[in-house]
Each structure stands twice: as structure tokens, then as C-alpha cells.
Amino acid sequence: MTTDPRPTEGVHPDHPDLDRLGALALVQALADDQRRAVEAVRAATPALAGVVEAALPRLERGGRLVYVGAGTSGRLGVLDATELTPTFSWPPERAVPLIAGGERAIRQAVEGAEDDAGAGEQDVRGAGVGPDDFLIAVAASGTTPYVLGAVAAARELGALTVGVANNPGTPLLAAAEYPVLLDTGPEAISGSTRLKAGTAQKIALNTLSSALMVRLGKVYGNLMVDVRASNTKLEARALRLTRHATGAGEAEARLALAEAGGRVKTAIVMLRLGVDAGEAEARLAAAHGHARAALGEG
């Protein structure tokens, strides 16, 4: 029998009788194995920090985040890209998820799509990827042809490329300018990388995109101030954030938010500096969207 050298494809030595466990022991075993995901991301923090520093200037110039993956990895990319708009008011056209098999693959498996390197290249070119863009390629195996084709095309087009894989020494880590290894090892259910390999990917993507949004001025202190109040839940959240940042009463905060068109960051500047919405927007624009700088806090 040929042994697959990729750790994610190995058989976990601690769970040979997983199918014999009772419900409690089974759930505990699966939950405990997820701890390795957090450990893997913590080990990768220097690499992730390097990615933030490299990607930031491109995004400041108007570049896009482009996510590429297949299967679980592709769906996690779609999720991260989608959540940037409601969380940080990031323009949806600047978060581009590419998944092997297209949109249909978000809900169902598209057999063979991940094996098509040419499709990965074609999707990147079709998305108009260019020098200011930042491509995040994710593959647990580190060997997925679709993802490798996408990275090759992105590099040719001048985009910054990041490769996220759960196996060391794999082609994806070699192909990308910025390799990020999430070494999660064998899964409790052998080969099911939707488990801790996928969890580590989710944490890494969430950490990376959130760090970028903080550095781009989408956060003041630790407050999500670029959220826009577009429904009842977000209106209540916007009110809480505005009051917390300014110490304003409910009525005053509501009025400022109304005048600011629901923009929390604008309302905060208005209330803290005693200016109208137009002046607050002008100060934020001059500070490139950073509330702390607009408030003169450095």
C-alpha cells in the first residue's frame, strides 16, 4: 500500500475506534482535535503579519482581495469575501471569491473542477486580476491544480500572491510569494479536511482580512465603526457603538446618526468635534478614513 506523504491525508493515531464511541466521548474527541487549528494559526502569525504589511499598500491604492479555492477551502473564501461588506462597508466589487466549479460549487460538489489548472488560470484572467490586487489561494492539500493554475496566472499578471496550505513542502507554498503553513496534521476522521484543517483556514482568513480592515481605518479602538445601519439589528449596534465612543446620550446619538446617513464613523467625529456631517466627512477624507487621525489623536 502506498502511503500519502501529506499529513492531512494520514490516519490519526489517537482515534482508531472513533466509530465505537458514545455520543459524549465522540463529541469530545472531535472538539478536542480542533485545538490543533488554533495552535497552527498561532504558529503562522509571523507569516500572516508579513502578508498584512505586503498587502496593505495595494489595497490603499484601490486593489482588491481575490480569494481562490476549491471545495471547503473555496467556500471559506466565499464566506470571508461576503462578510467584509456588512462588517466593514468594504465595497463588494473589491472582494472577489473564485471557487472551482463556479457559483454552483458553493452549494454542491462539482466533481473534477479542482483538477483543472487551466480553469484556475482562466478564472483569474476573467476576473481582471492586476498589479494592485492581492490574491489569497487556499488549499488544505497544497496540491490542488485549480488553485495552482490561479496562482501562476496571478503572478504573471503582477498580483501579490499568498498561499495557505495545511501540509508543509507542498507546491502551493512554493508557488506563492507569501506562503502560510497551517500545520494541522491528520484529521480525527481521516482525510476530512473540513474539520480542523478547515477551521484553521477560517481562523487565518478571518484574522488576515480583519487585520487589513483595522489597518485601513475600518476600526476605531476596537469598535467596528465602518458598519452602516441598514437593518434593525445594525441600527441598534450603530447606536451602541456611537454612544460608547462619544459618551453621548441616546437622543443625541440617534440624531447624529440620522444626519450622518447611518455612518457610525461620521457620527463619532461629529459628536466628538462638534461639527456637522459635511465637515466630519471632509475630515475623514483628509485622514484617509482613519477616525483616530480625523479626531486629531494621531
Which candidate in 114, 121, 187, 281 is catalytic? 114
* Cβ neighbours of residue 187 closer than 8 Å, sequence gap 6 or more: 8, 12, 33, 193, 195, 196, 197
Q: Which residues pair with 160 in a beta bridge?
A: 134
Query: What's the CA gap between 97 and 79, in Å, rounded?
Result: 9
What are the residue ranges of helices labelled H in 157-290? 171-175, 196-215, 232-246, 250-259, 264-273, 277-286
**Separation of alpha carbons 124 and 85, rounded Å:** 22
Using an 8 Å Cβ cutoff, are 135 and 58 in contact? no
Number of alpha carbons in the 13 Å side-chain half-sphere of residue 218:
21
83 is catalytic: yes
For the question of residue 53 being annotated catalytic, the response is no
84 and 247 in contact (C-beta within 8 Å)?
Answer: no
Q: Residue 46: enclosing H or E segment and its boundaries?
A: helix 45-60
Cell 462578510, residue located = 83
d(CA 290, CA 265): 9
Catalytic residue, from 60, 83, 177, 259: name it. 83
* Block residue for cell numbers 480569494: 67
Which residues lie below 8 Å from residue 204, measured CB to CB, with a gap of 6+?
41, 44, 48, 164, 180, 182
Measured CA to CA, the distance from residue 141 to residue 170 in angstroms comes to: 8
Write phi, then psi, for 180 (nearest 5 degrees). -125, 110
Beta bridge partners of 91: none
Active site residue ranges:
83, 114
